[in-house]
C-alpha cells in the first residue's frame, strides 16, 4: 500500500523514489502511524461513552472524565521512558516494533467482557503507545538532512495527515460497531488496526534511515541492572500500598486517579529541571532549552482544553445535542471524526502557506504560531458557552453544528501548534536527549490532561458555563503573554525560527 503512494523524484535519472517529494521512508512511517492512530482514536472515541453507558460501566460523567483524562495523560507520560528506552537500550526502530505489539495485546485485553481486564487493557495500551509515540516521530526527523532542511516542517505536516486519516476512519468504524453492536467488539477492531500498522512497519522498515537503529547512549550492564532493580522496588511498593488500602476497606477509584494526576504534573516539571541542571549541555543547548520551556507551558494549556473534545465535549454531545443532521441520525462517537477530517482538509493549505511565506521572508515565528493556537483554543470555548447557556436556560438539545464549529476552530489552532511543535522539538533537542526530547514534548499533553483529571476528581463539573469561561479566558491571556515576549523567546532559540 505504501509503495503505491510514492513517485519518482524529479531529480536526475536513477534517483530514489519519494513520497510526495519527501524521503521514501516517510511512506512507511505515515502508514504505520495511520493504523496505530486508527486503533488509538477508535478506542478513545468509545472510552468516555462506554464509561457512562448503562450497558457499559455506568459511571457518572465526572468520574468518566477523570478516568479519560488520567488515561490520556499516562499515554503521553509514558512517551518519556519510551524515548529513554530507545536512547539507552533498543534504538527507535526496535522500540516502535515492541510498542506496537504491546498495544495489540492491550486492545485484545480491552475486548474481554470484564471490568478488571478493561482497566488492565488501558494500562497496556498506554504502555505500548508510550514506547511507540516519541520514537516514530523521532524517526521522521531522521529522514531529513538536519534541522535546516526546508522540507522538514512540511514533512511533519504530511506525517500529521497520516495520523488524522486513521483518526478520521476510527470513529466511523470502531465507534459505530462499539455503540450500535457491541462495545467489546469495537475494542477488538482497534487491535486489528494496530496489527495492520505493525505489519506495514516491519515490511517497510528497510526504507528508514540507518540512524533509527542507533542507540545514542547505550546503557552499561550496571545501569541496566540498576534500572531493573528500581522498577521492581517501585512496583513492589505500589503493590503493598494498594493491598493495604483494599484490605482496610478504604479503597476508592480516587486512590488511583489522584496519585496518577499528581505524577502527571510533577514528572514533567522534574524532567525539565533535571535537563536544565545538566552540566554536560553546551551554553547554546541550555539557551534553546530555556526557550523550549515557553513552548512547553503554552502546549500544556492548549492540550488541557483541546483534549476535552473526547470527554467534556463528547459527553455534552451524548446528553445535549440532537445527533441528527438533515434527517440522518448518527452515533455520538462520530463527532471525533470532525477534527481529523478538518486536519486533512486544512493541513496541506497551512503547510503550503508556511512555505509560501518562508520564501518571501514573512513566515511567522514559532512563538507567534503558538500564541495564535492559544487564542484560537480560547475562542473555541467562547463558542462552546453559547449552547451551554442555551441548554442551561431552556433545556432540550441543541444542533450538532455547534460542536462542528467548535472542532473547526480547535483544528486551526492545532495546526498552529502540533506539527510545528513536533518539528521545533527535533530542532531544539540537545544531542544528549535525542529521542527523550520528543518524549518531553508529549509531557506537555500529560501536564494538561492531568490538570483536567485533578479538577474532575475534585468534583469540578467541566460542563458548566463558569468552568468553560475560566478556561477560555486562561487560554487567551496566555496567548497574549507569549506574543508579548516573542522577541525574548526568539533570542533564546538562537538560529532556530
Cα→Cα distances 357→258, 263, 365, 440, Å:
46, 41, 11, 29
Whether residue 373 is predicted with pLDDT greater than 90 in this model: the reply is yes
pTM (2 decimals)?
A: 0.84
Residue 8 pLDDT > 90, yes or no?
Answer: no
Q: pLDDT digits over 54-86, tens only? A: 888 888 888 899 999 999 999 888 887 888 888
The answer to whether 191 touches 104, Cβ cutoff 8 Å, is yes
- CA dist 349 and 401 (Å) reads 23
pLDDT band at 27; cut points 50, 70, 90: confident
Reported as a single tens digit per residue, the pLDDT across 455-490 is 998 888 888 899 999 999 999 998 888 888 777 777
For residue 348, pLDDT beyond 90:
no
pLDDT digits (tens, 9 = 90+) for 388-440: 998 888 878 999 999 999 999 999 999 999 888 877 887 888 877 766 677 78
Q: Which of 34-43, 222-231, 244-253, 342-351 has the highest mean pLDDT?
A: 34-43
- How many residues appear in the chain? 497
Distance (Å, whole) CA 242 – CA 235: 11
Classify residue 112 by burial, with Cβ atoms within 10 Å: 0-12, 13-18, 19+.
Answer: middle
Helix axes 283-306, 465-484, angle to 10 degrees: 160
More confident call, 104 vs 17:
104
Which tens digit of pLDDT belongs to each residue from 232-264?
Answer: 898 898 888 888 888 888 878 888 888 989 999
Rg (CA), the chain: 22
% helix, strand, coil for the chain, step of 5: 80, 5, 20
85 strand-pairing partners: none
CATH code of the region 20-209+252-493 = 1.20.1250.20
Amino acid at each position: 500500500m505504501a509503495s503505491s503512494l510514492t513517485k519518482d523524484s524529479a531529480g536526475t535519472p536513477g534517483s530514489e523514489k519519494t513520497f510526495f517529494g519527501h524521503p521514501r521512508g516517510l511512506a512507511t512511517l505515515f502508514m504505520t502511524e495511520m493504523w496505530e492512530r486508527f486503533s488509538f482514536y477508535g478506542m478513545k472515541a468509545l472510552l468516555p461513552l462506554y464509561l457512562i453507558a448503562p450497558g457499559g460501566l455506568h459511571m457518572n460523567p465526572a468520574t468518566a472524565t477523570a478516568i479519560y483524562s488520567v488515561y490520556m495523560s499516562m499515554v503521553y507520560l509514558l512517551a518519556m521512558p519510551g524515548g529513554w528506552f530507545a536512547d539507552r537500550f533498543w534504538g527507535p526502530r526496535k522500540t516502535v516494533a515492541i510498542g506496537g505489539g504491546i498495544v495489540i495485546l492491550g486492545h485484545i485485553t480491552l475486548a474481554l467482557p470484564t471490568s478488571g481486564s478493561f482497566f488492565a487493557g488501558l494500562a497496556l495500551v498506554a504502555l505500548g503507545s508510550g514506547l511507540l509515540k516519541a520514537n516514530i516521530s523521532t524517526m521522521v526527523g531522521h529522514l531529513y538532512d538536519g534541522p535546516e532542511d526546508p522540507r522538514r516542517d512540511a514533512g511533519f505536516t504530511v506525517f500529521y495527515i497520516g495520523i488524522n486519516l486513521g483518526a478520521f476512519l476510527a470513529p466511523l468504524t470502531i465507534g459505530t460497531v462499539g455503540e450500535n453492536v457491541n462495545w467489546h467488539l469495537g475494542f477488538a477492531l482497534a487491535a486489528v488496526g494496530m496489527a495492520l500498522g505493525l505489519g506495514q512497519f516491519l515490511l517497510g522498515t528497510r526504507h528508514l534511515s540507518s540512524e533509527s537503529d542507533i542507540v545514542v547512549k547505550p546503557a552499561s550492564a550496571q545501569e541496566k541492572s540498576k534500572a531493573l532493580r528500581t522498577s521492581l522496588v517501585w512496583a513492589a511498593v505500589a503493590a503493598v500500598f494498594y493491598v493495604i488500602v483494599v484490605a482496610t476497606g478504604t479503597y476508592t477509584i480516587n486512590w488511583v486517579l489522584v496519585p496518577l494526576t499528581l505524577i502527571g504534573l510533577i514528572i514533567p516539571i522534574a524532567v525539565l529541571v533535571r535537563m536544565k541542571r545538566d552540566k554536560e549541555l553546551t551554553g547554546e543547548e541550555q539557551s534553546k532549552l530555556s526557550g523550549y520551556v515557553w513552548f512547553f507551558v503554552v502546549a500544556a494549556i492548549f492540550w488541557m482544553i483541546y483534549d476535552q473534545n473526547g470527554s467534556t465535549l463528547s459527553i455534552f454531545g451524548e446528553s445535549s445535542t440532537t445527533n441528527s443532521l438533515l434527517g440522518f441520525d448518527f452515533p455520538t462517537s462520530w463527532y471525533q471524526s470532525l477534527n481529523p477530517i478538518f486536519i486533512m482538509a486544512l493541513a496541506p493549505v497551512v503547510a503550503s502557506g508556511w512555505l509560501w511565506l518562508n520564501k518571501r521572508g514573512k513566515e511567522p515565528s514559532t512563538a507567534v504560531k503558538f500564541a495564535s493556537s492559544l487564542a484560537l483554543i480560547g475562542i473555541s470555548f467562547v463558542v462552546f458557552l453559547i449552547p451551554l447557556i442555551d441548554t442551561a436556560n431552556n433545556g432540550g438539545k441543541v444542533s450538532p453544528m455547534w460542536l462542528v464549529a467548535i472542532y473547526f476552530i480547535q483544528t486551526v489552532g492545532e495546526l498552529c501548534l502540533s506539527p510545528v511543535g513536533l518539528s521545533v522539538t527535533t530542532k531544539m533537542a540537545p544531542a544528549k536527549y535525542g529521542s527523550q526530547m520528543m518524549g518531553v514534548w508529549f509531557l506537555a499533553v500529560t501536564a494538561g490532561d492531568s490538570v483536567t483529571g485533578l479538577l474532575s476528581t475534585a468534583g469540578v463539573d467541566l460542563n458548566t458555563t463558569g468552568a468553560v469561561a475560566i478556561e477560555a479566558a486562561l487560554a487567551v491571556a496566555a496567548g497574549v503573554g507569549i506574543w508579548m515576549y516573542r522577541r525574548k523567546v526568539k533570542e533564546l532559540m538562537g538560529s532556530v525560527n
